Amino acid sequence: MRFSRFVATPCTIVCLVVGACGVFGGSSEQEGGADTTATAPDVSASETFSTDIAIPVEAAAVVKDTLVISVSAAAQTAAQSESKLLAQVEGRVVAVHVRENDGVAAGRLLVEIDTTEYALNLARARASYARSEASFRELVLFDDQLTDTVVRAERERVARAKSGLDEAEVSVWEAELRLSRTRVRAPFAGRAASVLVVPGQNVRVGDELASVVDLNPIRVEVQVLESEVGLLAAGRRATVAFAAFPGEEFAGRIATINPMVDRETRTAKVTVVVPNPGGRILPGMYARVSLEARRFPDRILVPRAAVLERDRRTMLFAFEGEGNTGLAKWRYVTTGMANDSLVEIVPNSETEMVAPGERVLVDGHYTLIHDARVRIVANVRESGGRPQ
C-alpha cells in the first residue's frame, strides 16, 4: 500500500487553523499537472474554537441609592478624658491601691501618703483656733446688751481681729485641706494608667503619681486637609480601621471640627468618637478614618470593580441570561461621581446605561469578550476560574 507524502509548511498550518485557504495550501499539482485544489468552507475563529463551557465570574446588582462621598485620612486615638494625678503634698507613700489597667470608679482611693505630720498640724491649728475663740468671747462678753446693732457689729469685727480668730479659722481650713490631699482619689471613672510610685517612696509636691483615662468612648483625632474640611459636619458618620485590628471596621461619629488650620501642615483637626465598651481600642493607636462628607440621593450605582477601560473608553459587562448562566454583554458607559466602593453611571447619548436590578460582572471578567458564555458563582477562585 502506498501513502502520499505531505509536508506541512507554516502557511498550510495557519490556513488549516483559520480555514481561509485550501486544505493543503493555495494550490497543489499532481504528477500529471492537473489542478486538484480543494476549497474548504469559510469558518470563523470563534466557530473553530467555540465551546459550551461557561466561564465562572462574580456579579453584583446595579442599585439606585444614595452615593456617599467620603474623606479619608490618617488618625491617632486619644482617651476621651485623661487626668495626671500629681502629689499636692510631700511625704512618704504608704499605700498604692491600684495597678495599671485596673478599672476604677469615680472617687476610688488610689494612693495614700503618710498623714502623721499633717494630722499633727491640724491638731495644732484647732488648738490655736480654740484659744482665739476664747479671747474673742472675752472681748464681746457683754456686747449682747448693746441695743445699737451697728456698734455691736463693729465691736465684734474688732474683737475677731484682736483675738486672731479669723486667722486661726483659716489655719484650720488649710490644715484640713493638706490632710485630705494625702489621700489621692480617681477624679472620674475609667482605667488606671502609668502608676509611677510604690509604697515607701518619698514624693514632693508636683511629682506624678498615676494617671486615670476614660476609654469609652475613645477619641480618634484626624488631620483633614483644609480643602476638605468644608465638606464635613458634626454628627456625620465615620468608619475607622485600626492597624491593630486588621479586617475590622468600627463605626463612629464626627464630634467636633477645629476651626483653626495649622499653618505648616495646612490641616485641621477633626475629632471622631467611637464606642469602646470593652476597652479594646487604646490611646495612641494608629487608625485610618473615612469621614462621610456629602450625600447624593437617587444615583445609579455599580461596584468599582465592575468598571473597566478598553481602547481608552470606559465599559462594563452586563449579565444577560436566565438564572446564573448566560452571556456577558459589553457596554460602553459614562461614569459620574465615585467613592471608595461605588461608581455612578450617568446618561450620555454616546454610551449606554444600566438599570437597577441588572447584574454586572465584578470578578473574572477582565479578559472576556462580548457575548462570552459565563456562569455566576460566589467565588471565582473556588470555582476554578481566574480571579482578577
Q: Is the pLDDT of residue 22 over 70?
A: no
Q: Is the pLDDT of residue 250 over 50?
A: yes
**For 230-336, where are the alpha helices, taking DSSP H only?**
none
In angstroms, the CA 308 to CA 142 distance is: 104
pLDDT class of 31 with cuts at 50, 70, 90: very low
Whether 267 and 226 have beta carbons less than 8 Å apart is answered as yes
Residues in the chain: 388
How confident is the model at residue 276, as a pLDDT?
92
Looking at per-residue pLDDT, the higher value among 149 and 69 belongs to 69
CB atoms within 10 A of CB 380: 20
Whether 93 and 203 have beta carbons less than 8 Å apart is answered as yes
In angstroms, the CA 228 to CA 73 distance is: 10
206-220 tens-digit pLDDT: 999 999 999 999 999
Read off φ and ψ for residue 330, nearest 5 degrees: -75, 125
How confident is the model at residue 26, as a pLDDT?
40
Q: Is the pLDDT of residue 6 over 70?
A: no
How confident is the model at residue 228, as a pLDDT?
85
How confident is the model at residue 138, as a pLDDT?
82
**Stretch 19-24: mean pLDDT:** 38
**Stretch 160-177: mean pLDDT:** 91
Kindly state the cell numbers that stand for 182: 494625702
Q: Is the pLDDT of residue 18 over 60?
A: no
Lowest mean pLDDT among 5-14, 132-141, 345-354: 5-14
Largest CA-CA distance found in the chain, in angstroms, rounded = 163
The proportion of the chain whose per-residue pLDDT surpasses 70, expressed as a percent, equals: 84
How confident is the model at residue 386, as a pLDDT?
60
How confident is the model at residue 288, as a pLDDT?
93
Contacts of 8 (CB under 8 A, 6+ apart): none
Contacts of 181 (CB under 8 A, 6+ apart): 88, 89, 113
87-99 tens-digit pLDDT: 999 999 999 999 9
285-306 tens-digit pLDDT: 999 999 988 889 999 999 999 9
Read off φ and ψ for residue 285, nearest 5 degrees: -70, 145
> pTM value?
0.57
pLDDT class of 159 with cuts at 50, 70, 90: confident
- Domains in the chain (CATH in brackets) are 1-50 (no CATH), 55-66+298-376 (2.40.420.20), 72-80+215-296 (2.40.30.170), 86-213 (2.40.50.100)
Q: Is the pLDDT of residue 46 over 90?
A: no
77-122 tens-digit pLDDT: 999 889 999 999 999 999 999 999 898 999 999 999 999 999 999 9
pLDDT class of 3 with cuts at 50, 70, 90: very low
Whether 65 and 362 have beta carbons less than 8 Å apart is answered as no
311-336 tens-digit pLDDT: 889 999 999 998 899 999 999 999 99
In order, the DSSP letters of 43-90 are --HHHHT---PPEEEEEEE-EEEEEEEEEEEEEEEE-SEEEEEE-SS-
How confident is the model at residue 72, as a pLDDT?
87
CB atoms within 10 A of CB 29: 10
Tell me the average pLDDT of the chain: 84
Q: Is the pLDDT of residue 175 over 60?
A: yes
374-388 tens-digit pLDDT: 999 999 888 776 655
How confident is the model at residue 383, as a pLDDT?
75
**For the chain, where are the alpha helices, taking DSSP H only?**
10-18, 45-48, 116-139, 149-163, 165-180, 226-229
**Stretch 131-149: mean pLDDT:** 79
Most confident of 70-74, 164-168, 271-275: 271-275
How confident is the model at residue 387, as a pLDDT?
53
Looking at per-residue pLDDT, the higher value among 5 and 354 belongs to 354
Q: Is the pLDDT of residue 161 over 60?
A: yes
Q: Is the pLDDT of residue 148 over 50?
A: yes
